[in-house]
Structure 1
Amino acid sequence: MLENSNLHCLSAQSNVPSILSPVLIVEFLLGIPGNVVALWIFCFRMKARRPSMVYLLNLVLADFLLILSLPFRIDNLLRGEHWVFGDPFCRINLFMLAANRSASISFMTVVAVERYFKIVHPHHRINRLSVKQAAVMSCVVWALTLCLRIPLLTSQLLQEHNGTFLCRSFSSYKKLPTEIHLHYLLYVVEFILPFSVLLFCTIKITWVLKHQSMNRDWKIRHAIRVVVVITLVFAMCFGPGIVAGLTALLIKWFSPEDCASFRVVSEWFNASIAFTYLNSVLDPLIYCFSSTMFRNTLKKSINCVGLCQLEVSRSDSVTSIT
């Protein structure tokens, strides 16, 4: 357990639990069915296999695993941020949150980059990757993501404050441990680098949209819509945490005695976890936007169970880019 003497301005959150817990409950209730349905469609309903489907399947898996860790966060908040599951499971829970967040970011970026190559560099060999090669690349992404988050499993993360056990991966250390330093660095880099890539892909595809011939116009418009949706979801879900976290660090560095401001910003940072989990709720929109095949399979599945009759798009026969 971490010693309070190595922590700066440590305090339990006064407002976050009462506000955040109902939000997370709603996100869990919305995220579980959405991701279960998406996982079912990818695994059992879609017959065709393409590299893009492999990436989206891994995105579903990352979101699903992220949602599975949510009930423990909800329980923690309902108890006033008092963690009752012990130090080992505290590490495991925070490891799952960080690893699946990183995997979700990675595969969102891969989907956007794939659209970029299909539009801007249509003859590049990346566009000829087989399903097996896409699966191998996905395994590499998972392996790299899990390995980089191992420090969360080896670090002391449980903190005791006035009889309350706080399970946090982000605390203000007076002297930052090497493992936590790596965790902080990855948290910032995995936002800035992918977001820069997404902006680049959006700008380049938009440029192509204005200069390509009309016979490919529908494909380009679809691709730009996919990348824009991914970029907006990315910024909305992961941006608030980065802004609040960097603000807290600036306060600590330049005004370490101002604990009142630091604690307020820290509460904002902890509240940003709601946006992180919101990503898992919104990602099914990405599946629908990015894949005509997924969208049509979903419509067919709904029609099969007799819930309603939805028109299936004929563009499924020309989904070379979806």
Structure 2
Amino acid sequence: MNSSGIVHHCNLTIQPLVSSILPPVLIIELLLGLPGNLMALWVFCHHLQSWTPNIVYLLNLVLADFLLLVSLPFRINSQLRLENWIFGDAWCRINHFMLSVNRSASIGFMTAVAVDRYFKVVHPHHKVNFISLRQAGGIACIIWVLVMSLRLPLLMNNLLIETNNVSVCRSFSSYKDPSLGIKLHYLVFVAEYFLPLVVLVFCSIRITCSLNNCQIDKKKLKRAVRSVLVIVVIFNICFFPGIATGMTGLYLQKLGSDYCDAYRLNGQLFSLSIGFTYLNSTLDPFIYCFSSTWFRKEIKRTLKLFGSVVLRLICCDIQ
């Protein structure tokens, strides 16, 4: 039992090793993710006439990343203070809600992009390939509503734990008897990895098998294969460490207090895996480039234009 009245099967401990490793990692991810996503947002918003349903899903992936980029500084601040959360209970809940919505929405729109590629290649004449931008926007809205609805328990449960004059803000902790909302949070955390993984692997296999179809444009097909494979790789790099350590923690928790040392060690690994989870905002621009030839061309044109402007400014300074 801690001062907040929450019962734990293992005594809550601060993780100084995590607090020494994680902040520089998160700072680097923030510094790399912010300019990449700002450039992507600029390209999408300045070329509205070139939008397709695929671009709609990619734009929403950018918006999901901004939820992370807004929330991340508060997590960095907390880790720099050895997990001492100074922003109060309400913002603790909102912060975890935004971070979890980022994870869920990123997974949702990655899957949407992969499914879009799948239908374009494997079923080119299916009516799904001819949906309007309005219909694509409707699909995006459904994903957002579903994601936010499933994450509402984080707003309704106390996530702030007071122990030894330190306020710790965690959504995963050693609860002896988790509330229904926390159990739902755990269930969503596991399901939103494995269900999309099945879809992504299915799309990858079916698109790859289509290489033997002589009636399909091979160049277009190879681009689709690369696009889906990039999504699968980024998906697993970012989310597998968290799901592996998270499920291990839930298993150790069921074994009881005799396994507290192993639980605490796994807890540190889980906290460190957050660095991989938040890496998705830094790696998502690769998805934009591989999933859209148009986006790749626009990025090259933008960088070339930016480079020429910088060169002119340097030359003016020299003169």
* Same fold by TM-score greater than 0.5: yes
Q: Secondary structure at the match of 2:149?
A: helix
1:246 and 2:247 matched: yes
Aligned partner of 1:287 in structure 2 is 288
Aligned partner of 1:43 in structure 2 is 45
CA contact (8 A) 1:41 1:298 kept: yes
Offset from partner CA, 1:219-245 (integer Å, 9 cap, x none) = 111101000000000001000000001
Give me the whole-angstrom Cα distance separating, in 1, the residues matched to 2:11 and 2:222: 50
CA contact (8 A) 1:4 1:160 kept: no
Give me the whole-angstrom Cα distance separating, in 2, the residues matched to 1:306 and 1:270: 40
Between 1:39-48 and 1:66-75, the stretch displaced more is 39-48
Q: After superposition, where does 1:115-154 map in structure 2 within 5 Å?
A: 115-154=117-156
Aligned partner of 1:192 in structure 2 is 194
Gapped regions of structure 1 (runs ≥ 5): 309-322
Aligned partner of 2:314 in structure 1 is none
The offset of 1:114, in angstroms, is 0.5
Give me the whole-angstrom Cα distance separating, in 1, the residues matched to 2:235 and 2:13: 30
CA contact (8 A) 2:7 2:175 kept: no
Give me the whole-angstrom Cα distance separating, in 2, the residues matched to 1:176 and 1:4: 9
1:257 and 2:288 matched: no
Aligned partner of 1:316 in structure 2 is none
In structure 1, give the amino acid aligned to 2:219: W
Aligned partner of 1:270 in structure 2 is 271
CA contact (8 A) 2:9 2:256 kept: no
In structure 2, give the amino acid aligned to 1:67: L
Q: Using the aligned pairs only, state the percent identity.
A: 51
Offset from partner CA, 1:104-141 (integer Å, 9 cap, x none) = 10000000011011111111110111111000110111
What is the TM-score when the length of structure 2 is the normalising length?
0.93
1:66 to 65, 68, 72: 68
CA contact (8 A) 1:91 1:157 kept: yes
* RMSD over aligned Cα atoms: 1.6
Q: Secondary structure at the match of 2:50?
A: coil
CA contact (8 A) 2:6 2:175 kept: no
Give me the whole-angstrom Cα distance separating, in 2, the residues matched to 1:24 and 1:102: 19
Q: Secondary structure at the match of 1:5?
A: coil
Q: After superposition, where does 1:69-88 map in structure 2 within 5 Å?
A: 69-88=71-90
In structure 2, give the amino acid aligned to 1:275: F
Aligned partner of 1:29 in structure 2 is 31
Offset from partner CA, 1:268-314 (integer Å, 9 cap, x none) = 00111111110100000010011010011111222223449xxxxxx
Q: Number of paired residues?
A: 308
1:102 to 101, 104, 108: 104
In structure 2, give the amino acid aligned to 1:240: P
